[in-house]
Amino acid sequence: MNSSPIRNTSATGSGLRPGLAAGPAAWLAITAVVAFQLAFEVPALCVLLPVSLGALFALRRLGSPRVSLYLGMAVGLGVFVPQMLFLWRIFSIAAVPLWLILAFFHGVFLLVLNRVEFRWGPGWALALAPVLWCGVEYFRSEIWWLRFSWFAAGTCLPPGARGFLVPLGVYGCGALAMMVGALGCRTLEMRRSIRPRWMRPAQIVVAVILLVGVVGSVREVRTADSVQSRVSVAGVQMEFPGVPEVRFALERLRTNQPKAELLLLSEYTFDGPVPEPVKAWCRRHGKWLVVGGKDPMSGALPDGESSSIPALFRPKGLFPQVPEGEAYFNTAFVINPQGEVAFTQAKSRPIQFFRDGEPARERRVWESPWGRLGIPICYDASYRRVTDDLVRQGVQGLLIPTMDVEAWGERQHRLNARMARLRAVEYQLPVFRVASSGISQLMDGTGRELATAPFPGNGEEIFGTLELRGVTRRLPLDAWVAPASTVVTAGVMVALVVLAWGSRWQRRAS
């Protein structure tokens, strides 16, 4: 590994200049953005993901830390803004700082990588790039308060790439893509120079990993565990319905799908607990019902939990409002055939800037008559820290009641549905998801959609069979690797700051 700093690279025979000129830097930034967008939009072009991250890695050679931060943010804006124009519809001008905050993490990654290159040389930059990328992505997506995971690099992979997604997970796939892109970039940079002895073994290892992933993706899926139980499920899409509308929709669903045993309605179907007429309907017809509502909160939050912040940006299409100061849990209620509340689960990750309830005090698994079912509510399914916890508890399937306001547009609905599909592939679990105005999905453990209901689709029904297999508690590798990468990234940043302070002190002393 070459540990010489970038200013001495000409002496090491790498043939690189200390800085990257403005023209090549601009083209690399454009390549990073265009390759990401193509990989995200066209499943067959997901192979361009390493090209995007390799171009970002090449930008580490910028001559100024400040330019690295700004150009990294520019790349981040090119990644996020085209995909998230719906934020303007929701927040208006306040969408701009949200875009900038998301783009800031691309800037931080490039800034840190630039300092690693300058202080420790291109060898260490190559070795640390996948770790730094994984650490920054995981922190942005899962750790801090404005967590947002939709455009982690691994989300570019389609369900067919299960040979990568199943063992590595979304964050692990992002780290692998950075490894491939960075290694390819470094190989091109050294094409006219003597390559270090470790370069060829590194290329062979990466090639073997890619080959194994490709083989795992194209081979026929055969699940060792046989189907343990089947449940006939059905749901109907409704946005802000009244109790009479819900009863009418349930009656129509029962008529159209008389064999359905478990009915699922969306998040926020009710503006409070489940009304007695709906419980009476379940009792009369002997149906199980999972439905979203509000559970009034009593008592204080446990230590370490923080209350949701009111609508700071006053977004349009807000969820049902509650009087200021009234606290509640955004809850999924399970009503049994006796018309009683058999189980409840509150939302773990309320949406920031909305009155979306308080965070759940705990996550539990519903011991249903058919098997162990987890109920992540809407955006909960976007966060691996939530769904990993459910898988550790031994879930055999996921029920996801969802509320995406129709006014937010089809693009937002498709992006949210994409995350649920990735969860099905990562865990190899069946998923039944019913959204208020689309897109509802019934998927098997390969992410294949067995049934769907469109956007917009008020009153549209979805039905099918949820097949539950054995409990595995299997998590992708990034469940451990990604948090560790975040810790290493923090350590690298601290070391770089200490070295910068030391250099400044030495200059002043001399």
Q: Can you tell me which residue has the tokens 């992540």?
A: 376
Contact at 8 Å (CB) between 114 and 68?
yes
In the three-class reduction of DSSP (H, G, I as helix; E, B as strand; rest coil), residue 229 is classed as strand
299-313, 358-372, 420-434: lowest mean pLDDT where?
299-313
Using CA atoms, how far apart are residues 175 and 109, in angstroms rounded to an integer?
A: 13
pTM of the complete model: 0.89
- pLDDT per position as a tens digit, 167-199: 999 999 999 999 999 999 999 888 767 777 777
Whether omega before 476 lies within 30 degrees of 0, making that bond cis, reads: no
Using CA atoms, how far apart are residues 289 and 315, in angstroms rounded to an integer?
A: 31
- List for the chain the helix, strand, coil content (%; round to 5): 50, 15, 35
Using CA atoms, how far apart are residues 245 and 21, in angstroms rounded to an integer?
A: 64
Among 250, 244, 333, 237, smallest CA distance to 286 is for: 250
Instruction: Decide which of 14 and 184 is more confident.
Output: 184
Among 401, 436, 439, smallest CA distance to 417 is for: 439
Q: Which two tokens stand for residue 259?
A: 């064999």
Return the HEC string of 281-310.
HHHHHCCEEEEEEEEECCCCCCCCCCCCCC
Q: Can you tell me which residue has the tokens 């179907």?
A: 269
Region 405-431: mean pLDDT is 95
Distance of CA 507 to the CA centre of its chain: 45
Work out the angle at residue 454's Cα, subtended by the Cα atoms of residues 47 and 432, and round it to the nearest 5 degrees: 80
What was the pLDDT predicted at 211?
84
What was the pLDDT predicted at 220?
58
Using CA atoms, how far apart are residues 287 and 290, in angstroms rounded to an integer?
A: 10
Edge-first strand listing for the sheet containing 372-374: 366-367, 372-374, 397-402, 431-435, 440-443, 449-453
What was the pLDDT predicted at 438?
85
Polymer length in residues for the chain? 510
- pLDDT per position as a tens digit, 379-396: 999 999 999 999 999 999
Cβ neighbors of 15 (< 8 A, separation 6 or more) are: 9, 189, 190, 192, 193
What was the pLDDT predicted at 262?
97
Sequence letter at residue 382: S
